[in-house]
A and B are shown apart, each in its own frame.
Chain A
């Protein structure tokens, strides 16, 4: 990032946009004074917060980051909120007064000794917000604060921020590629140019109108410019997987019982429901990764001579039958380069080398990974990691794919690519089970939804 001239006045509420790699996070980290020292890179020009260099703003700037799990510092809610005040040397009585006030402001109605480990993602983000508020910052910075949250969590955090801003009058800068979430809260949009500098700057609606098309093309979710849904032939084949009286859980306790569902070739099923209801556990069970606690998963049409129950298959037998894509792509990376990563499945399935090589190139090209073949999977961007994790499952051509939150935190461009690819797979007879909160994704891809709830099961 370089050559950026920008002035933000007290009390302004700014949405910061730009293609990935435009330096949004870098700017926000720099404002918060957490960018690191001279060892971490070069610095030119001046960055002033309230007229002073933003090296150590010491509590005048509050920053909330994307990952809810990595921001909780202490094990009790009250202590965690107090942490920032302690670091600023705020006296004890004043600290606890601020803690209670901050928890009130973000709507976290919990005991001060409530364990932070048991909070939901939305609650953790509100906790992080409260921790920042207790420091009484004049500038509040949010770096994709809702990217890892379900729709209910997104609303929780957005509403908490809105009420906090109304009360404190703090200056506000948020990075978020889902524009509609923040549209009612912000009054100015700044679009950074990838090459450096400002591409657009002005009142929110005006900038979105002028730059909407370009923003949408660079991956920003612009309201009214949802990527088009692909056309599908929607031909259903025979059944490929069914469950009867299925109970799922990790350990001994069942989190869902009596699950009965059926899936046909070329069809797409979406599993939905609130956080913590067992969607991922059900997905893992259907994918043959964890054993059912009761009942059965019958995938006889996929078995090709093996037991009908996927959990009885060997790992290398599984890869050519059911492909799994995990919520966190990093969990499933096992090789030092993208090319090796794509070779793992074919090698396990003992595919002939020439055919495997051709297939790898084909899948890599389809998912725009060709120029990244020698990169380390861990160094890829979020969208690239997601594409690679889908590619690793796809490369052994399994007739069934199970995807856990495939569109979580993705920009609109990766989203559209993913949806188009899945539609293509469905048309060639592959079946897809996806665990998802994403209403647009369900609209575009799902033939049926299976909604899990805490009390009863609903199918539609």
Chain B
């Protein structure tokens, strides 16, 4: 009952109900295994499986595209760099200055793009449904990380909103003081310093308030929100393991698997 009260109604896709620690673990497993090889096949298989699984989990495709757009841009930029400057082999397609686009570098570029997507997209989708408070609960109760560290980090996160407001006021105040016309670099440096001072002060006030509520004491802490790690969590991790297993097996079978990029 208490979990329902504390959790409220923030459920959007099936993934939301999964413990953040399981999401973290799954993203780490997928990322670590897929980094082992640089071939196009294992990355493609992983990516196709991942997208199919997200569809099954009812992740809104528009949200998926929107949230992964940064990964997409990063992947394409990395791909372009590899295509222009990557290890040259095979027929030369284009050449200017130091750039050589060859059959070999194009293949490498394609593999790079696919790999970044195969690692990045699930990470973004898994992380976007993580509530910081739930994550802190999970880190504290399931992984048994020190609560001082976990909750300190969580509380600091809340100060970020205040920083944005402070920054805007600092900007307007510079105009009011007559120093907003010139010396942008120096002004930004000054504002950054002022923001640092303000945030240290806020931070120490928050620390006092937390201490006044018994935080950091010697009493063993209880947790108001249960963080459970059950069948659903193990299923997610198993699915992640299955995806990378299928991906690497098919690459090894097809003979394209190249351990750590070895030729």
**When each residue 269-293 of chain A gets 1 if its CB lies under 8 Å from chain B and 0 otherwise, what string results?**
0000000000000001001011000
Question: Contacts A87-B217, A93-B2 known; A71 to B8 CB distance under 8 Å?
Answer: no
| Interface of B: prevailing SS | helix
**When each residue 66-90 of chain A gets 1 if its CB lies under 8 Å from chain B and 0 otherwise, what string results?**
0101111111101100111111111
Q: Is A374 located at the chain interface by the 8 A CB criterion?
A: no
Chain A residues with CB under 8 Å of B172's CB are 284, 289-290, 326
Judge whether A65 and B209 touch: CB under 8 Å. yes
Judge whether B179 and A289 touch: CB under 8 Å. no
User: When the two chains form the complex, which single residue of A67, A79, A83, A113 contacts B213, counting CB atoms closer than 8 Å?
Assistant: A83
Cα distance A154–B155 in the bound complex, in angstroms: 26
Judge whether B208 and A58 touch: CB under 8 Å. no
Judge whether A348 and B8 touch: CB under 8 Å. no
Chain A residues with CB under 8 Å of B226's CB are 92
- Within the complex, what minimum Cβ distance (angstroms) separates A332 from chain B? 4
- Within the complex, what minimum Cβ distance (angstroms) separates A100 from chain B? 9
Q: Is A450 located at the chain interface by the 8 A CB criterion?
A: no
Judge whether B209 and A70 touch: CB under 8 Å. yes
Judge whether A332 and B177 touch: CB under 8 Å. yes
Chain B residues with CB under 8 Å of A333's CB are 194
Residue with the highest number of chain A CB atoms closer than 10 Å, among B194, B205, B212: B212
Cα distance A318–B8 in the bound complex, in angstroms: 50
Q: Is B145 located at the chain interface by the 8 A CB criterion?
A: no
Stretch at the interface among A127-135, A209-217, A299-307: A127-135
- Within the complex, what minimum Cβ distance (angstroms) separates B158 from chain A? 6
Chain A residues with CB under 8 Å of B197's CB are 330, 378
**When each residue 365-397 of chain A gets 1 if its CB lies under 8 Å from chain B and 0 otherwise, what string results?**
000000000000010000000000000110010
Judge whether A89 and B220 touch: CB under 8 Å. yes
Chain A residues with CB under 8 Å of B212's CB are 32-34, 61-63, 65, 132
Q: Is A150 located at the chain interface by the 8 A CB criterion?
A: no
Cα distance A82–B133 in the bound complex, in angstroms: 13
User: When the two chains form the complex, which single residue of B9, B10, B151, B222 contacts A85, counting CB atoms closer than 8 Å?
Assistant: B222
Using a CB-CB cutoff of 8 Å, which residues 147-176 of chain B contact chain A? 151, 154-155, 158, 161-162, 166, 168-170, 172-176
Judge whether A135 and B214 touch: CB under 8 Å. yes
Question: Contacts A34-B212, A74-B155, A85-B224 known; A334 to B133 CB distance under 8 Å?
Answer: no
Cα distance A300–B219 in the bound complex, in angstroms: 66
Judge whether B205 and A73 touch: CB under 8 Å. no
Q: Is B198 located at the chain interface by the 8 A CB criterion?
A: yes
Judge whether B133 and A289 touch: CB under 8 Å. no
**When each residue 1-35 of chain B gets 1 if its CB lies under 8 Å from chain A and 0 otherwise, what string results?**
01001111110000000000000000000000000
Q: Is B95 located at the chain interface by the 8 A CB criterion?
A: no
User: When the two chains form the complex, which single residue of B209, B219, B223 contacts A71, counting CB atoms closer than 8 Å?
Assistant: B209
User: When the two chains form the complex, which single residue of B169, B215, B222 contacts A90, counting CB atoms closer than 8 Å?
Assistant: B222
Chain A residues with CB under 8 Å of B176's CB are 287, 289, 315, 318-319, 323-324, 326, 332, 393
Cα distance A93–B168 in the bound complex, in angstroms: 43
- A-B CB contacts (within 8 Å), total count: 183
Chain A residues with CB under 8 Å of B225's CB are 79, 82
Chain B residues with CB under 8 Å of A160's CB are none
Cα distance A73–B170 in the bound complex, in angstroms: 24
Question: Contacts A70-B205, A396-B178 known; A332 to B173 CB distance under 8 Å?
Answer: yes
Judge whether B223 and A92 touch: CB under 8 Å. yes
Chain B residues with CB under 8 Å of A289's CB are 172, 175-176
- Within the complex, what minimum Cβ distance (angstroms) separates A41 from chain B? 15
Judge whether A331 and B173 touch: CB under 8 Å. yes
User: When the two chains form the complex, which single residue of A83, A314, A323, A330 contacts B198, counting CB atoms closer than 8 Å?
Assistant: A330
Residue with the highest number of chain A CB atoms closer than 10 Å, among B173, B177, B190, B219: B177
Judge whether B222 and A89 touch: CB under 8 Å. yes
- Within the complex, what minimum Cβ distance (angstroms) separates A215 from chain B? 28
Q: Is A165 located at the chain interface by the 8 A CB criterion?
A: no
Using a CB-CB cutoff of 8 Å, which residues 36-80 of chain B contact chain A? none
Nearest chain-A residue to B210 (Cβ)?
Answer: A73
Judge whether B177 and A319 touch: CB under 8 Å. yes
Chain B residues with CB under 8 Å of A332's CB are 173, 176-177
Judge whether B178 and A348 touch: CB under 8 Å. yes
Cα distance A136–B23 in the bound complex, in angstroms: 37
Chain B residues with CB under 8 Å of A131's CB are 213
Judge whether A70 and B202 touch: CB under 8 Å. yes
Cα distance A378–B193 in the bound complex, in angstroms: 12
Cα distance A29–B212 in the bound complex, in angstroms: 9
Chain B residues with CB under 8 Å of A33's CB are 211-212
**When each residue 322-339 of chain A gets 1 if its CB lies under 8 Å from chain B and 0 otherwise, what string results?**
011010101111100000
Cα distance A91–B194 in the bound complex, in angstroms: 42
Judge whether B194 and A88 touch: CB under 8 Å. no
Q: Is B238 located at the chain interface by the 8 A CB criterion?
A: no
20 additional contacts (CB under 8 A) given A93-B2, A250-B168:
A58-B214, A65-B209, A70-B209, A75-B132, A75-B133, A76-B8, A76-B133, A79-B224, A86-B221, A87-B214, A89-B222, A95-B222, A96-B5, A99-B224, A113-B10, A289-B175, A330-B194, A331-B194, A344-B177, A348-B179
Across chains A and B, which 10 residue pairs bring their CB atoms closest together, nearest first? Answer: A113-B8, A348-B178, A319-B178, A87-B214, A70-B205, A315-B180, A84-B213, A324-B176, A332-B173, A82-B224
A–B pairs, 15, beta carbons within 8 Å: A29-B208, A56-B218, A63-B212, A65-B212, A78-B5, A79-B6, A85-B222, A85-B224, A88-B214, A90-B222, A314-B181, A315-B178, A316-B181, A348-B179, A393-B176
